[in-house]
Amino acid sequence: MPYYRSVGEVPRKRHTQFRQPDGSLYAEELVGQEGFSSDSSLLYHRHAPTAIVAAEEFTPPAFTRVPNLPLKPRHLRTHKLDGAGADPVLGRQYLLANDDVRIAYVLADKPSPLFRDATGDHCLYLESGSLRVESPFGVLEAVAGDYVVIPTSTIHRLVPTGDEPTRLLAVEAAGHIGPPKRYLSVRGQFLEHSPYCERDVRGPDSPLLVDETDVEVLVRHRRGWTRYVYANHPFDVVGWDGHMYPWAFSIHDFEPITGRIHQPPPVHQTFQGPNFVICSFVPRKVDYHPDAIPVPYNHHNVDSDEMLFYTGGNYEARRGSGIEQGSISLHPSGFTHGPQPGAAERSIGAEFFDELAVMVDTFRPLDLCDAGTACEDDAYAWTWARRA
């Protein structure tokens, strides 16, 4: 995360004696990226965070991947998936994946187990409902429209809250997710041209201090999954400081960049990950050149697949193609895509688009997973051949 936070009790100097009321030392834990050469946070535990009493191999719910063959645009209807009674981690239904990123959807109404993903960061987007993110860093509350970024190897539990089930899009990276580098100064401050800044970002603000013993934690790592039993609860942290922690940002705080003529997708970029980007399309004033055509032109991104998750409003370029709340479109490299027939003409003279969507562009092809195939609208690929 681009800025420093300090929560709870920490000593004035790092790696110095910091004692508990009984005179024993708090146990330091440095959580950091790229060895000791990048962002990190320093946590102070009541008990040793290394103490485990059991470990066994764990078999997670399985899913398969198949290539997008024949190569064609796809439309996935996530609200058609049967997911009631799921938790937000093990209940994820994987839609699309490659070796850089996995994209899943879940309708969750019960808490997840304690979970640590040692293979990469997660970026969660809440379509509806609300969620409490618990971790050694504290509690982070999230509501519909929030992105939540959970750093690699953060033990966490996701707890749906409120009266309605939580609908969640999960983007799981094989690496780190953060703000685009072009938005940041060399010292990590958001620059003036960034569409969001530190004031829009939320982090945990108080320790949890859970005191339990023999606590199970599921860990996904580079060789598979393991179920550990920790001697003490990992949420026993009295304080921490640093730049690495779970954080949230609302899509409604994204300030759109507009122009006289149509602006390309990079102006909507919100995050970057390993070989992919995440963009936010939000309600905005559209092109104001007198001869402007506000919807996108036909385009062929020769280096990327484009996945778009429709999460509110009315996406003008897709009208008439069966796109609905919770729809996902996949437009792969190797296929020219663009607005539906008639959309360009209809958009002329429009001054405002009321749309909400999350886009993931990947620079390696996305495969189809079981849940994606199960909820596919087979008629979508042919909708350009008829006038809506």
The answer to whether the annotation marks 193 as part of a ligand binding site is: no
Q: Which residue has 């485990």 as its token pair?
A: 52
Taking a C-beta distance cutoff of 8 angstroms, is the pair 332, 365 a contact?
yes
Q: Which residues pair with 162 in a beta bridge?
A: none
Q: Which of 156, 262, 268, 289 is catalytic?
A: 262
The kind and range of the H/E element at 352 are: strand 352-353
Q: What is the CA radius of gyration of the chain?
A: 22
State which amino acid sits at residue 119.
T
Residue 305 labelled as part of a binding site: yes
| Cα angle 185, 200, 89; round to 5 | 105
The secondary structure element, H or E, covering residue 372 is helix 370-374
Can you tell me the distance from the alpha carbon of 212 to that of 224, in angstroms, rounded to the nearest whole number? Answer: 27
CA 288 to chain centre: 32
Please state, in angstroms and rounded to a whole number, the distance separating the CA atoms of residues 86 and 131: 14
Is 193 among the residues known to form the active site?
A: no
Largest Cα–Cα distance in the chain?
77
Annotated binding residue at 315? yes
Q: Which residues are annotated as a binding site?
A: 299, 305, 315, 337
Which residues make up each annotated binding site for Fe cation? Answer: 299, 305, 337
Give me the active site residues, please: 262
